[in-house]
Amino acid sequence: MNRSDRYQVTDPIAKGDFATVYRGRDHELGRDVAIKQIHQQYLEDPQQLDRYWQEAQLLASLEHPNIMTIYDVVRERGWLILELAQGSLPQLLGGRGIDIKDMRLALNFTLHALKFMHEHGIIHGDVKPSNLLVDRNARVKLGDFGIARRLKGDDGSVVKGTTKYMAPEVVSDQFGPVGPHSDLYSLGFTAFELLCGSHFETLFPGLNMYGRDQQIAWMMWHSAPDRRLPEISRTLDGVPPDLAHIIQRLVEKDPAKRYRTAGEVLADLSIEGEAPPASANAAAEEQAAREATQAKRKRTLAIAAASCSVILSLAMLFLPNTEPPKPVAKKAVALQAADGQIVQLDPERSQFFITPAAGGKALGIVVNPDVDRLFVNGDRAMLADLLKDDQVHIDYLTGGAGQFMEIYATRELATMTGGVLRSVDTAAASLTFETTDGNELVVHTNDVTKYSLNDKTSRLALLRPEDRITVEHRAADGETRLALRVVALRTLSLSGTLVRANETEVAVQVDAANTQSASAEKTLPIASDCAITLNGATHHDARPLSPFDLRAADRVTLEYDVAIHRIEAFRDVTESGVVASVDYNKRTFTATRDGSGQTVAFILGAGCRLLIESGPVDLFFLRPGDRVTVQRKSPDPANREADQVAIVPQPDPRTWAIVINYETYDNPDLPPIRYGEADGSTLLDTLRTRYRVPEDQLLHQQDATRLALEGALSRFLARVPSGSQLLVYYLGHGYLSEQRAGYLVPQGFDARRVDSTGLGVRWLIEQVEQCPANEKIIVLDIGQVAGADLPIKQASAVELAESVKATPRRPVSTSAIVIASSDQGQAAAKLDDRGRGAFSVCVEDAFAGEADINHNHRIDANELFSYVDRTLSQVAANSPQTPKLYLPDATPARLSPEAKVAVIRVLASLQGRIDDQLLIDFNNAKQLSAGQPDADLAYGLVLMKGNRTRAAQQALNEVRLHHPDANVAYHILAWKAFWESDYKDGILQLEQLAKHLPNAGDADEQRYVKHSLEFAGRVTAFAELVKREINQNDLQKLRQVISDRGDVAKEAYRAGYFAVREMLEDLNRKIAIEADSQKKAALERDRGRISYFVEMNYDEAEAYLRTGLDR
């Protein structure tokens, strides 16, 4: 008989993603069998077939009465011929709880099977109720070895099972390695569920807090050390203490507290029930039997109706109970009691302190762990489980073992709340999130708060808005909530080549582990709700795609957190190579293909995604030289429209960057900088991944001291070559000394020793100036804290930049561009919803490409400042912050410091008499001025004030000849001409003065311009209105020159002109009404004197000359 004809398939029994189990008939032997048939699509997959036949070989090698038997293999049909079971325990129980005796027998049979397997070096890996099968003789047998593995297999793969029954060490390596004890944990969890029946799920009301994916939720529950099953005695009635003890120990999350081998469990397990205490007569034994029967009948779930027994005991094999009788303990007698609240814990001395409820001093309670018993919220506990602020009740008892304590601690049970993170405040150690019901909740954290991000240990500063979080929290002081644990999930994506896929996990060869390292294999579990597409399709033969539809070498993009939620697969449509050119306008690029060296062109459609390891990017991120893996929309090689481009960006060797940031200082007088750590780390990541700064050309200094900064900066700057771009970003406090010297504030700063603990801004700028980079940008992000009452006064970024100027008109730097984040009195704006500083966010976005207006992949200083200045006012509209740009100026000063002193010495003679020393001072100043007009102008001004008009004219004419723009010379000569009634020459001098006055300048220059034009108005009004000797054509030309300067100039001239006219009208009225002839004559003489209406203001001219020494 043909082997495939020997077996007849009848009715389906169960169906899974991988195979279907049928009831069948063995015609040759005339018996019913179970036929397990692999699905058709997997018959064509060698990898899946190998896994299937591996299960057959494993079953065939395990001959044991409590392991399901394999009879035959029909390879051509993909059949395993197995022993036919009546059904699984859950099927036969129908949702009811299992009988105590049946539970003992089921455990006994399963433990013998596991003991046999473990002794042969095999871990089952998927012990659960549905895999406990009942044969025709009503014996429990262990089945389904589809994921069993040898302890030391060739592939070293980790044992994985159904997550609901998964041991903690399988989920997280913090619990140690996987071993036989892992199967025992799953068996204990299975036993607990069988006792509870359908009500088992109600023991986990907070399970949905871990997310809607039950597979992941169970993984997170098992991996949480503080999540435990309740004590059986508190959940179920009538469970004998010995059985409850065994199951409770089986489900210990700490493997060290769990049974290590199946043999250990069998040694503690009694099949008949607890051995009763020794009795003196048969009557006592009969009474004990009656009590045991009554206890069995009383057992019921505290949360449900009474459970019913499955009919397993009809023909089960019974093993003798080897457990010795246990003595009856003497009854404990209470001696005294104490109540209070824990105020201090001292675990090293095995003690804690309480404040008695009745009042009085704190009491120390010493705990003997070998004798005393502790309970927390009714559960047995250890001293390490106690927490500060727990309420405790202590019973002092005496019994057979002597005196001992029972300590009952109570606290509010922690609440699990899920939601979406909205903001993180690292300074206040708090986070705000929107709960699943739409409310906003703020919780605080402390040093013991535990964080995980995508199942990895994390910290508060690394959490980001929009992370999905589950927070375990309880009440703290007042109305605040304290987070005990924060579990965060963040959706990430990666692209690569599929290595393998099954119903539990996917392994991918990642395109780019990071931008500057080789690719690596990554294995991730699959969520139960994972959506799968293959070349855009979601179904195959009218059924949803499963992981078994994927093939090795498929191109995949995964979206995942702790598990994969979406897989987009593409087959035979990928090409890899190096980008040769990019046409951004046409959205096309060419690449040299790997292997063939052929250059091919790709079109980027509207929906095409471009990805790097950290997320999506736009087309302008792509550059020639980048490595790319292109997924085409069509497998047709002629159709080169790309659906996705995975980019491995190549570092830009022209870029260098230094990031210095602080958040918390060790000096208590320096307030913490909110989000300082997050700002620094995020900017660093952006510079590395988006601006492509090579790793070895990126220096990060966080919380560094002055000495550490000086050494690191000096060594780094010495490596920067010419032709490169250098960015130096400082985020921290600033300080101005009493001498107005600016300092950056490093760790260890002391305002009393600022020279030795602060880092001078001048020193930093000088170090950067010596660097040969072509473009050097220094960004000072300072002014972090508002308020004038701080112990150490905070300097703004603008104040620090201005502090290095030699004079107010000299540049901040000769070669470096400096950007100051804020002006005096402005506090740095914070974006609490993003957990970041506003200025830093703008800088980060700028280098992420937002500021690259001309798309040349280079952010120059003008683009950076323009973007930050424009964007900052938008993102932080409620907290005005004004950045300032300081451009470099390498132009040397006109005058040396010695020349300035010499000129000032000449000007000092304006306050005294003219003597021989003036000439000596003038000659010295002229020599030191090296051809500049300042000494001659000062000398001419002194001579004019001393009425040495001829000498003054000679000196000033010399200035006009060699320095025609020296406006002070025209001012002085105009005054001389009008004083001497030479109005024609005076008008000409005023015309030259108006032409050479600056059109823009600082406040000193603008004040002098206004004064000069008012002066012109006064003297021309005197000549025209009083003397009436002025040439109107000359006057009109002067007024036209002034009018050409604009409205401000005209207004200044008119102010001077009409001031004289009003004075003249007033004087004429006085003359007209004056009766006294002598007084009248005096008034008429005043009217003819120019000095009555206008004077040469030597103070204004001197001030202008003094401030001009620095121009």
d(CA 240, CA 299): 9
d(CA 1014, CA 1021): 11
In which element (H, E) is residue 1095 found? none
- What's the whole-number mean pLDDT along residues 1042-1057? 95
Other C-beta atoms closer than 10 Å to the C-beta of 841 total 23
Query: Which pLDDT score, from 0 to 100, does residue 49 have?
Result: 73
286, part of any domain: no
441, part of any domain: yes
d(CA 1022, CA 827): 54
- pLDDT tens profile 220-252: 888 888 788 888 887 888 899 999 999 999 999
Query: Which pLDDT score, from 0 to 100, does residue 132 have?
Result: 94
Task: Indicate the SS3 state at residue 586.
Answer: coil
User: What's the Cα-to-Cα distance from 268 to each of 66, 85, 242, 401, 456, rounded to whole Å?
Assistant: 20, 29, 8, 24, 38
Query: Which pLDDT score, from 0 to 100, does residue 335 have?
Result: 45
The answer to whether residue 3 scores a pLDDT higher than 80 is no
Residue 399: which pLDDT band, with cuts at 50, 70 and 90? Answer: low
**Do residues 945 and 1068 share a domain?**
yes
User: What's the Cα-to-Cα distance from 940 to each of 371, 1004, 1101, rounded to whole Å?
Assistant: 106, 21, 11
In which element (H, E) is residue 182 found? helix 180-196
User: How far does Cα 47 stand from its chain's mean position?
Assistant: 40
User: What's the Cα-to-Cα distance from 541 to each of 40, 41, 46, 549, rounded to whole Å?
Assistant: 12, 11, 21, 11
**Mean predicted lDDT score pLDDT of the chain:** 85
- pLDDT tens profile 851-868: 999 889 999 999 999 999
- What's the whole-number mean pLDDT along residues 883-910? 90
**Do residues 663 and 789 share a domain?**
yes
**Do residues 931 and 1012 share a domain?**
yes
- pLDDT tens profile 50-63: 777 776 777 677 88
**Do residues 55 and 76 share a domain?**
yes
The answer to whether residue 595 scores a pLDDT higher than 90 is no
d(CA 1016, CA 1042): 10
- What's the whole-number mean pLDDT along residues 740-751? 94
Cβ-proximal residues to 1031 (8 Å cutoff; 6+ apart), any chain = 983, 984, 987
Q: 643 phi and psi, to 5 degrees?
A: -95, -30
Nearest alpha-carbon partner for 94 in 387, 368, 371, 311: 311
**Do residues 77 and 103 share a domain?**
no
Q: Characterise 378 by phi-psi region: left (phi > 0), alpha (psi -120 to 50), beta (else).
A: left
CB 428 within 8 A of CB 467: no
Task: Indicate the SS3 state at residue 1070.
Answer: helix
HSE, CB side, 13 Å, CA atoms: give it for residue 1111. 15
- What's the whole-number mean pLDDT along residues 179-188? 95
307, part of any domain: no
d(CA 306, CA 198): 12
293, part of any domain: no
810, part of any domain: yes
Query: Which pLDDT score, from 0 to 100, does residue 272 have?
Result: 63
643, part of any domain: yes
Cβ-proximal residues to 348 (8 Å cutoff; 6+ apart), any chain = none
Query: Which range, of 85-99, 296-310, 521-535, 910-924, averages the lowest pLDDT?
Result: 296-310
Last residue of a domain, one of 48, 82, 116: 82
728, part of any domain: yes
The rounded percent of the chain whose pLDDT value lies above 90 is 56
CB 492 within 8 A of CB 557: no
**Do residues 469 and 353 share a domain?**
no
Last residue of a domain, one of 410, 428, 453: 410
Number of folded domains in the chain?
Answer: 7
Give the residue carrying structure tokens 């001393």: 946
Query: Which pLDDT score, from 0 to 100, does residue 650 have?
Result: 94
The rounded percent of the chain whose pLDDT value lies above 70 is 89
The answer to whether residue 903 scores a pLDDT higher than 50 is yes
d(CA 675, CA 461): 8
Give the residue carrying structure tokens 């204990």: 188
In which element (H, E) is residue 1073 found? helix 1047-1073
User: What's the Cα-to-Cα distance from 307 to each of 95, 240, 528, 604, rounded to whole Å?
Assistant: 9, 15, 31, 64
CB 708 within 8 A of CB 659: no
What are the structure tokens assigned to 714, written together? 């000096």
Query: Which pLDDT score, from 0 to 100, does residue 2 have?
Result: 66
- What's the whole-number mean pLDDT along residues 926-946? 92
**Do residues 903 and 972 share a domain?**
yes
**Pairing relationship of beta strands 725-731 and 775-781 according to DSSP bridges:** parallel
**Do residues 118 and 207 share a domain?**
yes
d(CA 262, CA 123): 12
CATH number, position 227: 1.10.510.10
Q: Which is higher by pLDDT, 205 or 159?
A: 205
- pLDDT tens profile 495-517: 999 999 998 899 999 986 433 44
Query: Which pLDDT score, from 0 to 100, does residue 314 have?
Result: 26
**Do residues 941 and 856 share a domain?**
no
Query: Which pLDDT score, from 0 to 100, does residue 928 have?
Result: 93
**Do residues 142 and 255 share a domain?**
yes
CB 419 within 8 A of CB 435: yes
d(CA 45, CA 703): 56
- What's the whole-number mean pLDDT along residues 1033-1061? 95
- pLDDT tens profile 276-331: 333 334 344 444 444 443 443 333 333 332 232 322 332 232 233 333 333 333 34
Domain that holds residue 171: 87-268
297, part of any domain: no
**Residue 529, Cβ density class (10 Å: 0-12 exposed, 13-18 middle, ≥19 buried):** middle
- What's the whole-number mean pLDDT along residues 761-790? 87
CATH number, position 434: 2.40.50.320
Last residue of a domain, one of 23, 51, 82: 82
**Do residues 779 and 881 share a domain?**
yes
Query: Which pLDDT score, from 0 to 100, does residue 555 have?
Result: 87
Cα end-to-end span (Å), the chain: 112
**Do residues 406 and 420 share a domain?**
no
CB 769 within 8 A of CB 813: yes
User: How far does Cα 790 stand from its chain's mean position?
Assistant: 29
CB 701 within 8 A of CB 747: no
Residue 784: which pLDDT band, with cuts at 50, 70 and 90? Answer: low
Query: Which range, of 37-46, 975-984, 1008-1017, 1059-1068, averages the lowest pLDDT?
Result: 37-46
In which element (H, E) is residue 4 found? helix 3-6
Query: Which pLDDT score, from 0 to 100, does residue 281 have?
Result: 40
- pLDDT tens profile 802-836: 999 877 778 899 999 999 999 888 888 888 888 89
- What's the whole-number mean pLDDT along residues 397-414? 78
